[in-house]
Amino acid sequence: MNNSESTTEKEVFSMPRIGDKAPEFKAVTTQGEINFPSDYKGEWAILFSHPADFTPVCTSEFMTFAHLEEKFNKANCKLVGLSVDGLYSHIAWLRTIKDKIKFNGMENVEVKFPLIEDITMEVAKKYGMIQPGEHKTQAVRAVFFVDPESVVRAIIYYPLSLGRNFDEIYRALIAMQTSDKFNVATPADWEPGKDVIVSPAGSCGVAEERMTSTEDLTCEDWFFCTKKLDKDLVLNEVLKS
């Protein structure tokens, strides 16, 4: 097989990177037409994909996201789902979820956030949600965090068989908002109320000052300093009243 034949038969799927502007698209959804990300300018958005309607793992995820939607809204974040199924399939599936499905103590769950119709896989391909090694016609479980300036801030990918951890998705959102508002970093397993990390010193003088400072810093060494950040202060700043 020559190179031209190989290129023709093997389609390349790209994906946006952290720090890129979120690729733009217009789409039909269960909540009407949307323009992404322009419709969400000024607020955070989580764009997530799932393999197919009427599948059990996806059903459990949509019920969980719908159950948590108000919690994400209070954090100035909107949810947008996607699969390569059609609009009527989406509507029938979401109706079935509300009328028949019970999961993890939840029932009568109404999905109110938009679910994108992507039969052509145009959006899924634009966001690298189609992973041919996993499946050529179903989107993997991708999660894109897009900030108020329409910049991709974080990306999480899961295989078809693995349901997402929604506590982690919410934790990541709050952590990034905290970093933005307080100019800090968040360490491993950080949650609101735990100590945050102060950016490493940029000079020898600053490093020495930190080690001898009486400020409310705890420095294990010149490059590893933490400080307390009150949980209520964090939540009051990042959550909408």
Q: Which member of 58, 77, 219, 225 is catalytic?
A: 58
Q: Which residues contact 165 (CB under 8 A, 6 or more apart)?
A: none
Q: Which CATH number belongs to the domain containing residue 128 in this structure?
A: 3.40.30.10
Binding residues: 141
In this structure, the chain runs to a length of 241
Number of domains in the chain: 2
**Residue 5 binned pLDDT confidence (cut-offs 50, 70, 90):** very low
Residue 139 has pLDDT above 90, yes or no: no
pLDDT of residue 215: 65
Active site residue 58: yes
pLDDT of residue 174: 97
Query: Is residue 13 located within the same domain as residue 127?
Result: yes
Binding residues for substrate: 141
79 belongs to a structural domain: yes
| pLDDT, mean of residues 102-123 | 96
Range of the domain at 83: 3-164
Q: Which CATH number belongs to the domain containing residue 204 in this structure?
A: 3.30.1020.10
Query: Is residue 34 located within the same domain as residue 74?
Result: yes
Percent of the chain whose predicted confidence (pLDDT) is above 70: 87
Cα–Cα distance measured from residue 77 to residue 83, given in angstroms and rounded to the nearest whole number: 20
Query: Is residue 156 located within the same domain as residue 188?
Result: no
Query: Is residue 158 located within the same domain as residue 54?
Result: yes
Per-residue pLDDT tens for 181-205? 999 999 999 999 999 999 875 555 5
Over its C-alpha atoms, the chain yields an Rg (Å, rounded) of: 21
In one-letter notation, the amino acid at residue 34 is I
